[in-house]
Structure 1
């Protein structure tokens, strides 16, 4: 009958434990990265709804971006801006 020695048994236990730990760590990392990407994707889609750069009151200046609502220009509060007027194409 073949009985493994104590050092072989300990080596096998360490190998299985290390492999399990690394697998769980990688799965946790992948799950965390996926959740972060989803959250950032939805936030980016929301920011693309800000209409300031397509408004007639947009100045293009760094110090005064909007002549009507300078404090909310290019912020999420500007998504439903009541003063928004689209630029008319010629």
Structure 2
């Protein structure tokens, strides 16, 4: 995952490291489609993700909810995320 973390961090400059903000990446860093995808599949694009600094509490709450979902799912099954503004 290190390659994906470094890659998505670069997408957040100059806000990276700002107090009260966390880097939010989509597709999720925990999924194959995240910023590290190219590290696992050389044919994958190197910039097929979005990263933005957002409120730390909101980002961590979302990450906790995603963790709960993964706990219930308990598998490597594909899933779909619909983004609504």
Q: TM-score, normalised by structure 2?
A: 0.25
**Larger RCO: 1 or 2 (CA < 8 Å, sep 6+):** 2
Q: TM-score, normalised by structure 1?
A: 0.24
Q: Greater share of helix residues, 1 or 2?
A: 1
